[in-house]
Structure 1
């Protein structure tokens, strides 16, 4: 295990002295405590730590879904603090993709409509060849006319992944993406995220509790009490399990 890497030249995503506190005075809680980290283009990174370590808060800050108490987040060199609401919304829609454990699909839309929704909202024309490639690789081409209620959990999650990748974002955030999936479907999904990083050059930031899922990443960031306490390069399941045991002990 190595000490955390703090800055990366040409980073697709970067946090500088990032702090997030909730409350004030003696009751204040620091959820993220001075994090410095950079994510390279095409890198797949897993973020792990005990419950309450600040993983989800860190991801929300990095994705521009929450505002830091202090510090900066930069996506492709753009400081999120310098963007007004309109420009921040546009950046999230066009340069950031999201995959959530709860899928977050629109129940009244078909799978195809859900996948195309971010492009429709931004007024962009979909690349149909790329669309066909993504839905084919995720094996959902025969489910495109179905609504979420007519699909299994694994199929819904694959639709969510297709939606995240179709806009060709610089960064894809995945929050416990395999938490509601069986083992076989989890491996398929993780393989697609791995391919998105290696072949499409997209940066993947995945929050997970699963040590097996973490082995798909190039490195694992270990978070404890809101601070980075180490990294594991080219992680193995045993290394991740040992690091998590130390963090929880």
Structure 2
């Protein structure tokens, strides 16, 4: 099943063709992905959902270059990542991909600002001061830049993680249950920030979630079952997502 626009369009940030992933052998063999074709339009917020074991996390990890697919091709910003060696793949992830995970993954000894700047520091590159100012202002972090993670609330720590993900102007930001460790109010704030990053900064967001409320912040929801894409919702609501998941047995 092919989702969204054709991958030949310059408006596509990420796409994959014939993506397969197999774990185990013999009686323990599991086809986590079964010939998935999918593309993601630039400047859109997409949520991937499905029952446990549907392949949604595997799909995201393969798309992000965190896990290697057994077959198919994956393109990020026109680069075929399936042809990259380990060093080139690491460089690509650092320059073209941002990550926001359920655990904030901040360095406890560094300030919020140093955590935000870390990807560029590791790459030996200087940051663009005006862009950093835009990000921290948009995310409400200007008065927290000198604080270390233990001095920040969970929501503030996740905002730092979002800022870090946006700093390099990546082709795409992947979110793996990014609000899973947050209370509902703080989670709503972070989801609103992710949504605003697509509208105000033109960022492409791909998020895996099991939460219908979180998915309702997205522009599009992709539905998975048994390693395949089986449906799509545009302008999702909590009600439409819940009904669609119920139809999948989730």
1:79 aligns with 2:113: no
Q: Tell me which residue corresponds to 1:99.
A: 100
How many residues in Structure 1 have an aligned counterpart in Structure 2? Answer: 248
Greater displacement, 205-214 / 163-172: 205-214
1:133 aligns with 2:117: no
- TM-score, normalised to structure 1, is 0.95
Deviation at 1:3, TM superposition (A): 7.9
1:7 aligns with 2:3: no
Which consecutive segments of 4 or more residues in structure 1 shift more than 2 A?
2-10
Q: What are the residue-to-residue correspondences of 1:106-145 with 2, within 5 Å?
A: 106-145=107-146
2:5 and 2:41 in contact (8 A); partners too: no
User: CA 1:66/1:3 → structure 2, altered by over 3 Å: closer, same or farther?
Assistant: closer
Q: Distance in 1 between matches of 2:20 and 2:5?
A: 15
Deviation at 1:129, TM superposition (A): 1.6
Deviation at 1:80, TM superposition (A): 0.6
Q: Tell me which residue corresponds to 1:206.
A: 207
Partner secondary structure for residue 154 of structure 1 = helix
Q: Distance in 2 between matches of 1:21 and 1:210?
A: 26
Deviations 1:20-39 (A, max 9, x none): 00112332111111110000
1:158 aligns with 2:159: yes
Q: What are the residue-to-residue correspondences of 1:20-31 with 2, within 5 Å?
A: 20-31=21-32
Q: Distance in 2 between matches of 1:5 and 1:35?
A: 13
1:3 and 1:230 in contact (8 A); partners too: no
Deviation at 1:52, TM superposition (A): 1.6
- Please give the root-mean-square deviation of Cα atoms over the aligned residues, in Å: 1.6
2:5 and 2:40 in contact (8 A); partners too: no
Q: Which runs of 5+ in 1 are unaligned?
A: none
Deviations 1:34-86 (A, max 9, x none): 11000011111000111121111111000001100111111011111211222
Q: Which runs of 5+ in 2 are unaligned?
A: none
Q: Tell me which residue corresponds to 1:232.
A: 233
